[in-house]
Chains A and B, each alone.
Chain A
Amino acid sequence: QKEVEQNSGPLSVPEGAIASLNCTYSDRGSQSFFWYRQYSGKSPELIMSIYSNGDKEDGRFTAQLNKASQYVSLLIRDSQPSDSATYLCASGENYGQNFVFGPGTRLSVLP
C-alpha cells in the first residue's frame, strides 16, 4: 500500500513566524509532489508543486524535496492568520499511475 504520511497536528505558530510542514512517502517511484491547502468546509486548492530535488519558492511558500530521504516539506514564511487551514501533501507515481494524498496537517496561526 503506497502511503503518504503527515503529522495531523494541530501545528500552532505565532503570526509572523515560519511554519514548517512535513510529509514522507513510501513509494520510491513517486515523481511528482503537491501541497494543497484546505480551509474548513471548502475543497482543497493547489498551492505548490515540486518535481526535482531541492527547493522551489513561490512568494511566502517554499517547497523542499529530498527523494533520497523520501521527504517533502512546505515552509510558510511570515505566517498569517489567513494561513490557518489543513495542508495536504500528495504524490504522483508514473508507473502505476497512482496519486496518493496524505491525511493532512492542521495549521493554526495565532494573532
Chain B
Amino acid sequence: DVKVTQSSRYLVKRTGEKVFLECVQDMDHENMFWYRQDPGLGLRLIYFSYDVKMKEKGDIPEGYSVSREKKERFSLILESASTNQTSMYLCASSLISVDEQFFGPGTRLTVL
C-alpha cells in the first residue's frame, strides 16, 4: 500500500522561527511536491523535486526553501515564519511528473 507520511499533523510556531516540515514516501517515487492549501485558493504548488538534490520552483516559492538529500525524503523549510504562512501544507509524490500524485495527511501550521 502506498504511503506518504508527514512529520506533524499540527504545528504552532512563532513569527521569525525557522520551521522544518518533513515528508517521507515509501513508493520509490521520483517526484515529490509541496503544496499549501487555503480556503478559496485551492492547492498552490510551492516547490517540487524530480530527483535527489534537484528542485524546481512552483507558483509561490517566496519565503520557502526545500531540501531533498535522499529519494524518499523531501523537506520544506520556512526560513523565517510569518503569519501569512499559516496554512495547510500538503506533500505529494508521483512516479512520473504527469502521473497521479499520492498525498500525505497534511500539516496544519499556525504561525503566531
A-side residues, CB < 8 A to B, are 31-32, 34, 42-46, 49, 88, 90, 92-94, 97-99, 101-104
Tally of chain B residues near chain A (CB < 8 A): 17
Least CB distance, B78 to chain A, in whole angstroms? 20
> Are A45 and B103 CB-contacts (below 8 A) given A94-B98, A99-B97, A99-B98?
yes
How far is A32 from B100 in the complex, measured between Cα atoms in Å? 9
B-side residues, CB < 8 A to A, are 33, 41-43, 50, 90, 94, 97-106
Q: CB-CB < 8 A to B50: which residues of A?
A: 97
Q: Which of the residues A43, A98, A103, A104 comes within 8 Å of B98, measured between beta carbons? A: A98
Q: CB-CB < 8 A to B97: which residues of A?
A: 92, 97-99
> Are A42 and B105 CB-contacts (below 8 A) given A32-B99, A92-B99, A94-B98?
yes
